[in-house]
């Protein structure tokens, strides 16, 4: 695996990829876990050469403490990436990625950023869009891989690619879970033992919510989830939303009527954000 820290040297190396070969790209912020490695494995199966980037992007953090405390395990990350035969690793500095100002571009994501993560983390998706677009311009991948845990991010990246006519195919990779159901996340490593023990409650609740929803019972299910977290001694619910997975619009009363008439075309998904102490965890489940 070759490692690059500047845009210039990475671009030079990518010039040597043969014209008939494809490039797969996995952008990350490091502190790699099995979920990230599954993205790289998918990329290896799909493309001839694979680029991974590690860059903790300051403009997508709405809370300073979250940025400062973001875990970093660089030496282990390199070992893991070698094990899955990553070809190129790109680890740029802030100056490389933001040569002028460390500021986000403002995007129009057709409202996809106005709900859930976007509503609770001001400026987050403009930061994500800015850095992913810059990385795409540098790497020029044929395929880019994103985990479904950040489902809203995935839809927003697809929207950006469509609106900016970028020549890259976005590939979604299913959530990787711990044996007890907790969705893998770099932030899990910061959970205390007590919070780590309680955190699987999030996915257990999503599974019960899925059974209760049954294609139509959004209000009942939402109330039940909110109550379940009120009764939890440690975990604090930030939001639980049932939304159409294509446009992320919350389930409306009319949708229930449509469902009862037999129109079951819409695909719903539950989205959740929970505080485990200072650590904010998100998860999602398809409800179909
Ligand atoms: O999902 C992430 O890790 C980040 O949001 C990403 C896509 C690497 C952009 O910084």
Q: Ligand 1, closest atom to CA 28?
A: 8
User: Probe ligand 1: pick from 124, 131, 156, 168, max atoms within 8 Å of CB?
Assistant: 131
pLDDT for 248 equals 97
Neighbour tally for 114: CB within 10 Å: 12
Residue boundaries of the structural domains of the chain: 2-173, 186-286
Please list every protein residue whose CB sits less than 6 Å from any atom of ligand 1. 27-29, 57, 60, 128, 131-132, 150, 153
Per CATH, the number for 2-173 is 3.40.50.620
> How many residues make up the chain in this entry?
288
pLDDT for 195 equals 98
List, run by run, the mean pLDDT of 10-residue segments along the chain (288 residues).
Answer: 98 94 98 98 98 98 95 98 98 98 97 97 98 98 98 98 98 98 97 98 98 94 98 98 96 78 83 97 97
pLDDT for 262 equals 72
CATH fold for the domain made of 186-286: 3.30.1300
pLDDT for 257 equals 76
pLDDT for 260 equals 77
Residue nearest to atom 9 of ligand 1 (CA): 128
Strand order across the beta sheet in which 169-173 lies: 2-4, 88-90, 49-54, 23-28, 143-147, 169-173
pLDDT for 266 equals 85
């Amino acid at each position: 695996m070759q490692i690059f820290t500047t845009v210039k040297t990475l671009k030079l190396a990518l010039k040597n990829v043969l014209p008939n070969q494809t490039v797969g790209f996995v952008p990350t912020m490091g502190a790699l876990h099995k979920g990230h490695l599954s993205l790289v494995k998918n990329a290896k199966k799909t493309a001839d050469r694979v680029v991974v980037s590690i860059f903790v992007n300051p403009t997508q953090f709405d809370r300073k403490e979250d940025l400062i405390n973001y875990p970093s395990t660089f030496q282990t990350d390199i070992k893991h990436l070698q094990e899955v035969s990553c070809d190129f690793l790109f680890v740029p500095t802030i100056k490389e990625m933001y040569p002028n100002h460390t500021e986000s571009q403002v995007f129009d994501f057709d409202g996809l950023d106005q709900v859930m993560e976007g509503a609770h983390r001001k400026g987050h998706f403009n930061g994500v869009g800015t850095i992913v677009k810059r990385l795409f311009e540098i790497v020029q991948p044929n395929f880019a891989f994103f985990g479904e845990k950040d489902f809203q991010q995935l839809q927003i990246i697809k929207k950006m690619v469509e609106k900016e006519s970028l020549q890259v195919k976005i590939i979604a990779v299913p959530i990787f879970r711990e044996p007890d159901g907790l969705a893998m996340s770099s932030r899990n490593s910061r959970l205390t033992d007590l919070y780590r023990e309680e955190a699987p409650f999030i996915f257990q609740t999503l599974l019960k919510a899925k059974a209760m929803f049954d294609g139509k019972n959004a209000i009942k299910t939402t109330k039940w989830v909110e109550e379940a977290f009120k009764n939890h001694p440690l975990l604090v619910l930030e939001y639980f939303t049932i939304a159409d997975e294509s446009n992320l619009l919350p389930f409306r009363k009319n949708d229930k009527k449509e469902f009862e008439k037999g129109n079951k075309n819409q695909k719903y998904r539950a989205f959740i954000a929970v505080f485990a102490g200072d650590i904010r965890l998100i998860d999602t489940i398809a409800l179909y």
